[in-house]
Structure 1
């Protein structure tokens, strides 16, 4: 690894990987470092390998990807090879909707919904693989950014292992260290991005910090269950099944969606996504099981799975989607401070989610190129 990077990106999710890959295509000799708190690439679209059972590998964050019918040529250039090679699968028919009366129906009839194959983390890996010089893109995993500051025209990033990283340019692919929610999550007393600047020194950063405070985030918890009964799982005819819960159910139980993912040994992982607007609360597993059994009373195959399922993990998500007050794209880059921002917290012409994150990264690369 180099002593001073040309670009350091905080995060290794979809927006970060898109930025790194596209920047590498434009400038293949620049050194790029992605600093990620998680154990592997992907961010919210990552895939987890179970520490207790090495055979199990499952998606526990972003469950699917969708794009508008008319997307930019640059984004199409990135995803078309994945679609053509079967690494980005159309799973529209495998996404169902369940209402408060326990009736299942197709969730989508017009839109195409994708997922990366075999795992969601492969989407980011394939984006990175499209760069011209992948050797210039480096990663630091299980690394938490503690503070950032600009000293003598270089960014110094202090991380949790005591290491200091130096970089000519800094990119934040998440709003975390720019938003007050990081104070509790990171157990710190002041906002890292605010600490890096004297108020009034950089108008772009001042405006970004002010606007970011208005963002409201949905808090998510994911409960991971495992069905090890192979004779039972053989009767389950889905590879990747998602069921979205009606708003009435969401308001009553906080259930957002449930994902079924077959494992290499034939067993099934069930990931229950729960969402909370204000405070994250703990739910008793017995109550969760009773609610699921009640909702799916009309479908024996699901009842059998829930009765055999055992909880093996749960996650509180730090990286959740913003709900409102998306930021102006004019706040993406400060040339005076050499700091940029990308992700789904920017308003990209009414597109949302993954597409918004990727477009923001594309736009940021263009801004860097221009300056």
Structure 2
């Protein structure tokens, strides 16, 4: 007899883990499978081990999480124990802003800025650990969705040629297979969610497809730099230093922020986040180094670090954050087709930013559902 899951969740980032954990608290015997294209939990919040130097470990996507002063009680129930146990650290004082004149100041904000300890991936792990029956939450990593279709009231998800997963309910924690950008990223000729339905069969899905097509996404390129000079690294006092750039610098250079992450051997990984509203462009590493050194000319400790840095990798995030036209929360669940949607692409009243909104949407969806 085939194993039919109660819920298959596409994605294993913060939104998916929040949904799975809260659903497990409601229905501890329901079987849940998270399908993820990456190698482990986290999505953009995952932590990477360098393939060339196994000792290097760093957060290459989401470097921090912002929570507002109006954080919901549901999210507080997740993060309060982690803050109290020092598994979620307040790094607000380690967030600086560089203005267009080359001077650093504290990045004043009404929100608290946190990072998971010791790495960002641990946040997702801790969310799952708070479930009632974590043994019922399963994972399938390094797996791309090839197609989805509904056959005799069961969702059939093709993950590899000739390999299928079946589930009574399907949850999309990302808009990818519903958004036109899917065509380029997955190199497919049509949207998997569109192919799963005859037009007009499900009004909720039709609305999701229509509204999702209006979403524009910030694109990001991350340059991963390595500094082996321990004596220079030791001069930095801030353990979790983030430097944001002013709007003028963003417009002139596409530099969004630079993250400093000390390594266990005393070396350092520096991640330069560049953002693009249109096409992603390549910047020569020599130009990056010289620009960073000139921007930080008033702070020799930083300019010296950059001049000693070498590029070890580049990552493109082609769909890292939706802009405007977020979907209304009423489109989160179709009882007709047993398909649900959650993530930062939904308009949930959260002032803390994308992560807080994504978590609230996941919690709301988990509360909406009935099982058996």
Q: Which residue in the other structure is 1:276 paired with? A: 276
Paired residues of 2:68 and 2:350 also in contact (CA < 8 A): no
Separation (CA, whole Å) in 1 of partners of 2:331 and 2:109: 37
C-alpha separation in 1, matches of 2:339 and 2:283:
40
Query: Is contact 2:12–2:35 with CA below 8 Å preserved after alignment?
Result: yes
Kindly report which structure 2 residues correspond to 1:189-204, keeping only aligned pairs within 5 A, or say none.
189-204=189-204
1:238 aligns with 2:234: no
1:280 is displaced (CA, Å) by: 1.1
Match of 2:226, SS state, is: strand
Mapped to 2, the partners of 1:163 and 1:288 lie a distance apart of 44
Shift of 1:75: 1.1
Give 5+ residue unaligned stretches, structure 2: none
SS at match of 1:139: strand
Q: Deviations over 1:164-208 (max 9, x none)?
A: 111110000000000001101111110110000001000000001
Q: Give 4+ residue runs of structure 1 displaced > 4 Å after superposition.
A: none
Counterparts of 1:369 and 1:276 in 2: how far apart (Å)?
A: 41
| Number of equivalences | 370
Change in 2 beyond 3 A, CA 1:154/1:95: same
Deviation at 1:113, TM superposition (A): 0.8
Residue pairs, 1:311-326, within 5 angstroms: 311-326=311-326
Secondary structure, counterpart of 2:322 in structure 1: coil
Shift in alpha-carbon separation, 1:251–1:160, aligned structure 2, 3 A: farther
Determine the structure 1 residue equivalent to 2:77: 77
Residues 369 and 268 of structure 1, relative CA distance in 2, 3 Å threshold: same
Partner Cα distance (1:370, 1:144) in 2: 27
Provide the rounded CA distance (Å) in 2 between the counterparts of 1:215 and 1:111.
26
Q: Which residue of 2 aligns with 1:361?
A: 362
Compute the displacement of 1:70 (Å): 2.0
Contact between 1:143 and 1:161, CA under 8 Å: does it hold in 2? no
Given the alignment of the two structures, is residue 172 of structure 1 paired with residue 172 of structure 2, yes or no? yes
CA contact (8 A) 1:22 1:131 kept: yes
Q: How high is the TM-score relative to the length of structure 2? A: 0.97
Cα distance in 2 for residues equivalent to 1:166 and 1:318: 29
Asked if structure 1 preserves the Cα contact closer than 8 Å seen for 2:350 and 2:360, the reply is: no
1:215-226 matches, cutoff 5 A: 215-226=215-226
